Amino acid sequence: MPSAAVHRLPAGAPDDVSAVERAFAEGVIDPRGVVAVLGKTEGNGCVNDFTRAFAAAEFRRLLARHAGETAAGAVCLVMSGGTEGALAPHWLVLERREGGRGPSPALALGRAHTPALPPEDLGRRRQAVMVAEGVRAAMDDAGIDNPSDVHFVQVKVPLLTAARVAAAGARGAEVATQDTLKSMGLSRGAAALGVAVALGEVGAEAVTDEVIGRDTSLWSARASTSAGVELEGHEMIVVMGMSGRWAGPLAIDHAVMADQVDVEPVRAALARLGLDARGQLDADQRRRLVALLAKADPGTGGSLRGRRHTMLDDSDIPATRHARAFVGGALAGLVGHAELFVSGGAEHQGPDGGGPVAVIVERGA
Amino acid sequence: MPSAAVHRLPAGAPDDVSAVERAFAEGVIDPRGVVAVLGKTEGNGCVNDFTRAFAAAEFRRLLARHAGETAAGAVCLVMSGGTEGALAPHWLVLERREGGRGPSPALALGRAHTPALPPEDLGRRRQAVMVAEGVRAAMDDAGIDNPSDVHFVQVKVPLLTAARVAAAGARGAEVATQDTLKSMGLSRGAAALGVAVALGEVGAEAVTDEVIGRDTSLWSARASTSAGVELEGHEMIVVMGMSGRWAGPLAIDHAVMADQVDVEPVRAALARLGLDARGQLDADQRRRLVALLAKADPGTGGSLRGRRHTMLDDSDIPATRHARAFVGGALAGLVGHAELFVSGGAEHQGPDGGGPVAVIVERGA
Amino acid sequence: MPSAAVHRLPAGAPDDVSAVERAFAEGVIDPRGVVAVLGKTEGNGCVNDFTRAFAAAEFRRLLARHAGETAAGAVCLVMSGGTEGALAPHWLVLERREGGRGPSPALALGRAHTPALPPEDLGRRRQAVMVAEGVRAAMDDAGIDNPSDVHFVQVKVPLLTAARVAAAGARGAEVATQDTLKSMGLSRGAAALGVAVALGEVGAEAVTDEVIGRDTSLWSARASTSAGVELEGHEMIVVMGMSGRWAGPLAIDHAVMADQVDVEPVRAALARLGLDARGQLDADQRRRLVALLAKADPGTGGSLRGRRHTMLDDSDIPATRHARAFVGGALAGLVGHAELFVSGGAEHQGPDGGGPVAVIVERGA
Amino acid sequence: MPSAAVHRLPAGAPDDVSAVERAFAEGVIDPRGVVAVLGKTEGNGCVNDFTRAFAAAEFRRLLARHAGETAAGAVCLVMSGGTEGALAPHWLVLERREGGRGPSPALALGRAHTPALPPEDLGRRRQAVMVAEGVRAAMDDAGIDNPSDVHFVQVKVPLLTAARVAAAGARGAEVATQDTLKSMGLSRGAAALGVAVALGEVGAEAVTDEVIGRDTSLWSARASTSAGVELEGHEMIVVMGMSGRWAGPLAIDHAVMADQVDVEPVRAALARLGLDARGQLDADQRRRLVALLAKADPGTGGSLRGRRHTMLDDSDIPATRHARAFVGGALAGLVGHAELFVSGGAEHQGPDGGGPVAVIVERGA
């Protein structure tokens, strides 16, 4: 029976994979078992953030050296830029081990790569459909049958570049937007709705070209999608959930923040997994919390609980950077540290201004 | 017997004083009783933040129209730039009313203006000495004898500009630094140590030119200092504390955060004032919390609880902006909204990376 | 016969009107003759640039003190944010004097204020029509009959804010965009096409809602439009041209830059006015160049003369800031200083990536 | 007799070495002859600019594949971040070929790597001495005896990081500064003075610890130094000059800009090499200008030709970014395109606010 291990390791720079290499050398991680690497890198998280590609390139080479080209090519590398505030750059290495023991059901991991997405499909229903199929494949890979056992789906999606827009145009195809920054949001949004369809949160017929990026009432409680120029045209999908076909000490649950300060649902999710805290987690609870993954978003309304904020009007700092810093602070206040996977741009991921949060916990004895 | 009132009012823009004007018109605030206005304005909070001066200019004129030039000139206008994350631009109007009733001791307010500071004294012991004297004068004004009854001292300090540096140079005087951004930190730090001396937290002899801006072991638990180019050369000092010579429903207490996520001391201070919450404050508690004032700082070490952060290495966003957003998020997660007076640059204000926090609460029936 | 004077005066800060006040006191400028003040202020030139409003507020008060409320209200205050690179913050005070002598035709000035623009008309044909009427009124005011004698039309236009969008929505009206930053570009573009219509550069029927902000083949060679939140809902229009009904030493001409480095047409315009330079203007020529006004724009194609630039992909610095700095450098290299009125956002002002430039010169003896 | 070739090739991204790889494949460049690659990458050019390291890593691998590990290790990779304004990301591949024909003297290339620099020597006299020795070695390598035949010396220098500061501290050694951003300037400045000593522009005895970063009267007219975190501890030095031991079509000359708009000395240098232009270079001249390398700097005085600029007070955009955009514009206005190697941070490189410029030209028939 397989067992999932999650290794949270520090990154000294976007290309600093030394902690992972050391874990390989010491036998802590078997490189051939690596399913995915989720990385928080220290760029701006927007269009010209090359720290994601730099990290992905180094990991691709590291994995090829240790596990061979084929295995390395199958690993999902999901780099998410932006460590605003005190958020710590780090890697989450997700590993599948055989011969797992311990409690079951337990944390289960699955992955899938979709075929290449034509530029003109990006940000449209066809992208959502493709992602929904990918999520189902990743659920199969994870041994999860029931969508309600899925607690987080991390998807890395492509974006449009001037070159891709031109390539589509040369074939007479029209893209959803010519604005490359906007294409990031549309791509994240379409993929999130694909997750929602696969998990039964939104009906497949509701996901039309028109609603993507517009109808904020449609959302997934468990999708987290990141865009990056380093991806050619396909998506990488990682499913995390609970499965009776997996055993091991780790468990996962999720929560939905309704807005940027709504940390109480996260506290409740932690409590359900045995980390019941009045205020901040104590040192032992902190140690047992293996990973926290969350989406942060400024929302479209320009206010939080009736009070105006200025994230959307600030022409010096992108709104997603503000949101990651602030939501990162709110979650760090709850957890007691800031090595958290807080990702920005939550289109169709949680309600407007809010976002999904997953917590992975080592169960007590 | 005097009574203190604290009005928290929204700002739609740096020059939007309409909510205050309306409160004057409706008799909610007596313009002649205004002791100070503390404002969070939506600039970058650094050198070229003109939102502070814009707000101060509008308030000076508003107060002159409603209370006369002389009374307006005596009001301490402390504008603090930077509403990163979801922090809400707002004004805190501090009012002294006569004929107060209700519990005593109660929140007491005092203020002082220091004489003009020669540019060459800025960031040096002489500034600290001047501020210490000003704090004592403001304590007298507030009717507070015992330094331990003081819970927060807000000081607005000048900074060096190219013109002021040149003026000193023309007289043969040497300034502490030629770097205008650095002068903000030195001025904040010297003033904070002045507060610490006045409150008995640091011995007067310990405050030498050499330690200012360097020795992070010297700090005040109750000082909050902001620099701004809109100030000619003097300081404005507002003291908040508890006094038996004041009566009224409001009470104040303070806490010290040891680092950017250390919210539990703030929770404890709230509990001491009757707002005892397991997680986030509930709606009624939130209503009773009239104001929260805090300092946020990236610290000098580049890490939070052993994990690296990138605030100090980010050449795109100033570290103080990162810190305000993140600490603002941590405190908003505790309180349940983000209309908080979170100010950046905590040199000698709390321990390295941490900062003082004051809470003003309406006591229960 | 009237005569035009143009005073270029330094600004030490957005609210520093001291040089203008001194010119009033010394009789250099008659406050009652001020037609317009064009200011370069040192904000970011984007949505949250409050330096424009700060400057306008101070000028409104200064003029009211010296020329009375009515005359002050008629002055066109056109504040343009953004002094990137070495661009110098400064004021251009345009004055109309009676009893002018010297050569004629000469520089002529006219102004107009349009009625308030409903939010739903912003960025649409109706705005262009309104501006076209305003330009004709300003031409009348300047005593210019022939559109070909107009060399520059500076228009200050409003933008949409969340509040204005909501106000329109409450009446059941739909605005052109909900994106406040985008509304700046649409408003600038519609106004520029209004100028083009008034000057006969574009047929009135060609300006439909659909082309505004999209069809870059439609443009004016003499329009310069700036958006600012400080404007309630109307436009302020300043026309500069040559008129036989004006006399005086100043003359104006214009050029169109085809892209961001196309300075040779500007050199030719300077030569037509007697400033013929092989390379950079010499000191005497520089003295005779009273003002240079230009538009800078990154263009939509992402390249300059076949080589990629990164202005459109930089999520840290807005593209208009890049463009002002770079085009400012190109023009300063020609002129020999950087106290130039370089304004960003050239939608329908000159060809895509280029922009109109006006030069005002004191004619030789 | 050797001959120098200089290939200017576009970069589609920091890791896009495809144009160079194509040139290898087509035989346009012999990978074994590559002396140095100078790259302009599209990061912020400051502390957290990882585009430099990303580019260097890709080039190191590309060269190892095509020329072997040893030859690749000897190539000087000088990546300079920052393509503000319309500056185009590009690579300058400097190649040494044997069997050169054509005019002599001609452009000559030499290189050197210094030993590792202890962190405590960075920004101090010892760094300057080490660089001076390296320049002499690179001159030997280039076959240049007379310092006056050297026209440009490009040096890549290390900077201090928190880790390096700590390493020095652990040995009881004190570094010149703990501020990592400041260390970039000190390192650039010390290296520039090292060049000045080697070229006889400044006496060796004048370069004390005290003058580095302070005495702006000491400078080299031919040094260009860039700092980058990607460098471990040594310097890489590339010398370009004219040598009678080299033959070929290329020639080099240099100029010094006295301030950010002083382009006329550059025009004169171009004219000396046969590119004599009244205004902007024409298309043929532009083709013959193979490369332009320049330093841009905001200067310390806050003004340009008596008019205030705001580069030093802008807390949103680093001053070096402003300067590159603006000086890039001034030079692009002269040359007619923006694929220019404009590097920021000109401490001791040219006079305060100015900087050295080198031009490499293909001589006419």
Note whether B10 contacts A: Cβ–Cβ < 8 A.
yes
User: Is residue C137 over pLDDT 90?
Assistant: yes
Q: Which of B80, B220, B226, B243 is catalytic?
A: B226
Is D182 tagged catalytic?
no
Mean pLDDT of A96-113: 94
Cβ contacts of A334 on chain B, cutoff 8 Å? 333
User: Is residue B230 over pLDDT 80?
Assistant: no
Cβ(B252)–Cβ(B110) below 8 Å: no
Q: How much is the pTM?
A: 0.96
CA of B349, closest CA in chain C: separation in Å? 30
CA of B234, closest CA in chain A: separation in Å? 31
Are B180 and D46 an interchain contact pair (Cβ–Cβ within 8 Å)?
no
Note whether B319 contacts A: Cβ–Cβ < 8 A.
no
Are C307 and D90 an interchain contact pair (Cβ–Cβ within 8 Å)?
yes
Are D44 and B316 an interchain contact pair (Cβ–Cβ within 8 Å)?
yes
Are D48 and A57 an interchain contact pair (Cβ–Cβ within 8 Å)?
no
* Mean of pLDDT over chain C: 95
Reported confidence tier of residue C230, pLDDT bands at 50, 70, 90: confident
* Dihedral sign, Cα of residue C328, residue C332, residue C334, residue C335: positive
Mean pLDDT of A191-209: 98
Note whether C327 contacts D: Cβ–Cβ < 8 A.
yes
Cβ contacts of A229 on chain D, cutoff 8 Å? 13
pLDDT at C229: 76
Q: How far apart are CA D311 and CA D259, in angstroms?
A: 14
User: Is residue A182 over pLDDT 90?
Assistant: no
Alpha-helix residue ranges (DSSP H) falling in chain C: 18-25, 51-67, 69-74, 125-142, 162-170, 180-198, 264-272, 283-288, 319-335
CA of C287, closest CA in chain A: separation in Å? 36
Q: What is the pLDDT of residues A13-22, one digit of tens each?
A: 999 999 999 9
Cβ(B328)–Cβ(A326) below 8 Å: yes
The proportion of chain A whose per-residue pLDDT surpasses 70, expressed as a percent, equals 100
Tokens linked to B3: 């009574």
| Count of other CB atoms within 10 angstroms of residue A295 | 30
| Count of other CB atoms within 10 angstroms of residue B163 | 11
CA atoms within 13 A on the CB side of A29: 26
Q: How far apart are CA D158 and CA D234, in angstroms?
A: 7
Which of C10, C280, C308 is nearest residue D12 as measured by Cβ atoms? C308
pLDDT at D22: 98
Cβ contacts of D19 on chain C, cutoff 8 Å? none
CA of B178, closest CA in chain A: separation in Å? 26
Q: What is the pLDDT of residues B272-326, one digit of tens each?
A: 999 999 999 999 999 999 999 999 999 988 999 999 999 999 999 999 999 999 9
Cβ contacts of D92 on chain C, cutoff 8 Å? none
Are C84 and D332 an interchain contact pair (Cβ–Cβ within 8 Å)?
no
Note whether C10 contacts D: Cβ–Cβ < 8 A.
yes
Which of B12, B54, B163 is nearest residue C54 as measured by Cβ atoms? B54
Q: How far apart are CA B179 and CA C16, in angstroms?
A: 22
Are D84 and C317 an interchain contact pair (Cβ–Cβ within 8 Å)?
yes
Neighbouring chains of B at 3+ CB pairs under 8 Å are A, C, D
Q: How far apart are CA C130 and CA C121, in angstroms?
A: 10
Q: Which of A3, A80, A183, A226 is catalytic?
A: A226
- Provide the number of CB pairs (under 8 Å) joining chain A to chain D: 39
Are A48 and C316 an interchain contact pair (Cβ–Cβ within 8 Å)?
yes
Which of A12, A13, A50 is nearest residue D51 as measured by Cβ atoms? A50
Residue of B nearest to A283 (CA): B305
CA atoms within 13 A on the CB side of D255: 21
Cβ contacts of D314 on chain B, cutoff 8 Å? 47-48
Q: How far apart are CA A3 and CA A99, in angstroms?
A: 7
* C248 or D163, higher pLDDT: C248
List of residues 6+ apart from A321 with CB closer than 8 A = A44, A45, A46, A82, A84, A344, B317
Tokens linked to C237: 């229009």
Cα dihedral A177/A178/A183/A185 (nearest 10): -70
Cβ(A63)–Cβ(A30) below 8 Å: no
Are C50 and B316 an interchain contact pair (Cβ–Cβ within 8 Å)?
no
The angle, 0 to 180 degrees and rounded to 10, between the axes of the packed helices A125-142 and A180-198 is 50
Residue of C nearest to B55 (CA): C54
Cβ(D109)–Cβ(D239) below 8 Å: yes
pLDDT at A365: 60
Reported confidence tier of residue C233, pLDDT bands at 50, 70, 90: confident
Are C181 and A318 an interchain contact pair (Cβ–Cβ within 8 Å)?
no
Buried b (16+ CB within 10 A) or exposed e, B96-131: beeebeeebbbbbbbbbbbeebbbbbbbbbbbbbbb
Are A86 and B331 an interchain contact pair (Cβ–Cβ within 8 Å)?
no
Which residue type, as a one-letter code, is found at position C54?
F
Phi, psi (degrees; rounded to nearest 5) at A323 = -65, -40
Q: What is the pLDDT of residues A213-261, one digit of tens each?
A: 999 999 999 999 999 877 777 889 999 999 999 999 999 999 999 999 9
Are A307 and B339 an interchain contact pair (Cβ–Cβ within 8 Å)?
yes
Reported confidence tier of residue B365, pLDDT bands at 50, 70, 90: low
Q: How far apart are CA D39 and CA D162, in angstroms?
A: 26
Which residue type, as a one-letter code, is found at position D196?
A
Q: Name the nearest CA neighbour of B227 among B52, B93, B59.
A: B52
Splitting chain D (365 residues) into consecutive groups of 10 residues, what average pLDDT does each group show?
97 97 98 98 94 96 97 95 98 95 96 93 96 98 98 94 85 89 92 98 97 96 90 87 98 98 98 97 98 96 95 94 98 98 96 97 86
Residue of A nearest to D161 (CA): A12
Are C180 and A46 an interchain contact pair (Cβ–Cβ within 8 Å)?
no
Reported confidence tier of residue C231, pLDDT bands at 50, 70, 90: confident
The span from the first CA to the last CA of chain C, in angstroms, equals 20
Residue matched to tokens 């004709």: C136
Is B183 tagged catalytic?
no
Cα dihedral B184/B188/B189/B192 (nearest 10): 180
Q: How far apart are CA B256 and CA B356, in angstroms?
A: 4
| Count of other CB atoms within 10 angstroms of residue B23 | 18
Phi, psi (degrees; rounded to nearest 5) at B311 = -60, -40
Q: Is B347 left (phi over 0), alpha (psi -120 to 50) or beta?
A: beta
Which of A89, A307, A325 is nearest residue B85 as measured by Cβ atoms? A325
Mean pLDDT of C57-84: 96
DSSP codes, A222-291: SEEEEE-TT--S--EEEEEEEETT--SSEEEEEEEESSTT--HHHHHHHHHTT---SSS--HHHHHHEEE
Reported confidence tier of residue C49, pLDDT bands at 50, 70, 90: very high
Note whether B13 contacts C: Cβ–Cβ < 8 A.
yes
Q: How far apart are CA C65 and CA D155, in angstroms?
A: 59
Buried b (16+ CB within 10 A) or exposed e, A41-74: bbbbbbbbbbbbbbbbbbbbebbbebbeeeebee
Note whether C352 contacts D: Cβ–Cβ < 8 A.
no
Q: How far apart are CA D28 and CA D64, in angstroms?
A: 18
Are B315 and D318 an interchain contact pair (Cβ–Cβ within 8 Å)?
yes
Most confidently modeled range among B43-47, B100-104, C330-334: C330-334
Note whether B313 contacts D: Cβ–Cβ < 8 A.
yes
Pairing assessment for the beta strands D236-243 and D106-113 based on DSSP bridges: antiparallel
Residue matched to tokens 């206040």: A333
Tokens linked to B66: 């409603």
Q: What angle do CA C43, D43, C260 make, to 5 degrees?
A: 60
CA of A315, closest CA in chain C: separation in Å? 6
CA atoms within 13 A on the CB side of D213: 17
Which of C49, C302, C318 is nearest residue A162 as measured by Cβ atoms? C302
Residue of A nearest to B332 (CA): A261
Note whether D177 contacts B: Cβ–Cβ < 8 A.
no
Phi, psi (degrees; rounded to nearest 5) at C344 = -100, 165
Tokens linked to A298: 């400024």
Are D15 and A50 an interchain contact pair (Cβ–Cβ within 8 Å)?
yes
pLDDT at C43: 97
Residue to test with chain B: of A44, A307, A314, most B Cβ within 10 A: A307
- Provide the number of CB pairs (under 8 Å) joining chain C to chain D: 179
Q: Which of C3, C40, C80, C156 is catalytic?
A: C156
* Mean of pLDDT over chain A: 95
CA distances from A50 to C18, C156, D9, D53, D60 (A): 46, 38, 20, 11, 18
